[in-house]
């Protein structure tokens, strides 16, 4: 409720940034701290590919090449996920929207639900360093916790700190060549969204080259302000 007794709409936060900027890591931290649901269209698409759905089969080659999957497919996948009951708590969008077409579709979806974007948080990073960052990263296949050879190694080699599983996995599209294509796609298609959300007055920028916890604190301050 706000001061007038009107129920407040569930918050919507967006994390923007090139591949490797730390969107997934920071979204997970925000999820824990604010009780919101992390929605990663990359994760949803990888699940669709693994399940062999029509959408997954159409998306697979584009993802392997580091391009952007068509707006129709991505918007449909996100719309279905947002209709699930847990999303009523509010969401952190990680990797969506990535085109102005997707941003427009999101606005329409949110308007229909009586919601709006509270903050679009842009993670500012150095492109050249992203290739190094991405080549060192891996994830626990059991619980999804992210790690990095240099910046966040597990305490015990090959063992997840969070769930203890020994099932570390690397993404097929985390190769230097594919990362270059993904960076190109970011600059051509996604960077214009900075202006889109700037014009709406919800764009916030965070220097995301430093320590993960310090960046998380900066983002939490923005999220606190935007959701209360
Ligand atoms: P990510 O896990 O966010 O790095 O996404 C991995 C890949 O999935 C991207 O390189 C794209 O091929 C595809 N993808 C994820 N989200 C989107 C989106 N919003 N629009 C188009 N393609 C996407």
Q: Which atom of ligand 1 is nearest to the CA of 102?
A: 19
For residue 69, what are its two tokens?
């999957």
Q: How far is the CA of 185 from the centre of ligand 1 (A)?
A: 10
Instruction: Give CA–CA dist 155/12, Å, rounded.
Output: 34
Hey, whose CA ends up nearest to atom 5 of ligand 1? 42
Give the DSSP H or E segment for 31: helix 23-34
Q: What's the pLDDT tens digit per position in 162-217?
A: 999 999 999 888 888 898 999 999 999 999 999 999 999 999 999 999 888 999 99
199 close to 172: Cβ distance less than 8 angstroms? no
Peptide bond into 97 cis (omega under 30): yes
Looking only at the bridges linking them, the beta strands covering 37-40 and 91-94 are: parallel
User: Which residue in 30, 28, 39 sits closest to 87, CA to CA?
Assistant: 39
Q: How far is the CA of 149 from the centre of ligand 1 (A)?
A: 23
Question: Is 170 in the active site?
Answer: no
Q: What's the pLDDT tens digit per position in 85-120?
A: 999 999 999 999 999 999 999 999 999 999 999 999
Q: What's the pLDDT tens digit per position in 134-157?
A: 888 999 999 989 899 988 899 999
- What pLDDT is attached to residue 2? 47
Residue 12, sorted as left (phi over 0), alpha (psi -120 to 50) or beta, turns out to be beta
Instruction: Give CA–CA dist 10/12, Å, rounded.
Output: 7
Choosing from 28, 46, 81, 98, which is the catalytic residue?
A: 98
Question: Is 152 in the active site?
Answer: no
Question: Is 182 in the active site?
Answer: yes
- What pLDDT is attached to residue 135? 83
Choosing from 28, 46, 60, 182, which is the catalytic residue?
A: 182
Q: Which of 27, 65, 68 to mutate to test the pocket of ligand 1 (most atoms within 8 A of CB)?
A: 68
Q: pTM surpassing 0.85?
A: yes
Q: What share of the chain is helix, strand, coil (3-state, %, to 5)?
A: 50, 15, 35
């Amino acid at each position: 409720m706000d001061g007038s007794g009107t129920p407040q709409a569930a918050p919507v936060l967006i994390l923007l940034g090139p591949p490797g900027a730390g969107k997934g890591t920071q979204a997970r931290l925000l999820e824990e701290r604010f009780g919101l649901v992390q929605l990663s269209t990359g994760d949803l698409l990888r699940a669709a590919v693994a399940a062999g759905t029509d959408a997954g089969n159409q998306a697979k080659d584009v993802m392997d090449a580091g391009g952007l999957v068509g707006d129709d497919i991505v918007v449909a996948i996100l719309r279905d996920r947002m209709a699930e009951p847990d999303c009523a708590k509010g969401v952190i969008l990680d990797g969506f929207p990535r085109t102005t077409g997707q941003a427009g579709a999101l606005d329409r979806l949110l308007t229909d639900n009586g919601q709006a974007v509270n903050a679009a948080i842009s993670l500012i990073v150095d492109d050249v360093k992203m290739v190094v960052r991405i080549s060192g990263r891996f994830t626990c296949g059991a619980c999804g916790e992210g790690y990095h050879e240099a910046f966040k190694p597990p305490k015990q080699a090959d063992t997840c700190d969070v769930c203890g599983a020994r099932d570390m996995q690397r993404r097929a599209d985390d190769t230097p060549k594919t990362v270059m294509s993904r960076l190109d796609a970011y600059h051509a298609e996604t960077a214009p969204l900075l202006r889109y959300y700037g014009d709406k007055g919800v764009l916030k920028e965070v220097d995301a080259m430093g320590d993960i916890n310090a960046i998380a604190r900066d983002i939490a301050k923005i999220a606190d302000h935007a959701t209360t």
